[in-house]
Amino acid sequence: MELGAFFLVLAVGLAVGLYVAQPFIEGRIRRVAPEARETSALMAERDRVINALQELDFDFNLKKIPAEDYPIQRAELLQKGADILKQLDALTPISHPASSSSKATTDRIESAVAARRADTSTAQTGVRDDDDVEALISSRRKARKEKSGGFCPRCGKPVLVSDRFCPHCGKAI
């Protein structure tokens, strides 16, 4: 092995060793304040409660949860979320005085759940119940039938009213 290659390997090894040992050489360890850890843990718990509320609402809308159990479970989750928000408010006080009341914290949880809803399709289409869904389906079927021109006599694929030739086989219609 050449002497230059040996020194190159030695220099790279020394650089890597210094980089790895740097935290120990400096003697500084990153310290996180206990309040910051507690705030982070409470915010993570708050997010878990909000996700649980969303899942509970979704399951109730799909009729997976009995109607008599839903209000109890929802109230428990809302209370848990309110307690977490109170703890967060105690750690990081907010300037408005109404934040300490139970009703205000419940409203904050409700608005957070509403803001983070995953199912935006009902909000976009304005569909609220089964009759609206049925009306939407029938109107789309009607519009689709109006566009359909039947089937190609050669290949049997569907063609539109505006087609002059079959888009699959090219036969004149």
| Phi, psi for residue 68 in degrees, rounded to 5 | -80, -25
Tens-place pLDDT, residues 61-74: 998 988 899 999 99
- Predicted pLDDT of residue 144: 65
Half-sphere exposure of residue 95, counting CA atoms within 13 Å on the CB side?
Answer: 0
- Predicted pLDDT of residue 120: 47
CA distance 85 to 82: 5
CA distance 173 to 153: 8
Tens-place pLDDT, residues 105-129: 677 777 777 777 645 445 555 546 7
- Predicted pLDDT of residue 133: 78
Place of tokens 């304040």: 33
Query: What's this model's pTM, rounded to 2 decimal places?
Result: 0.41
Q: Which two tokens stand for residue 68?
A: 């008599």
Q: Confidence band (pLDDT; 50, 70, 90) for 146?
A: low
3-state secondary structure of 161: coil
- Tell me 92's DSSP state: S
CA distance 153 to 163: 13
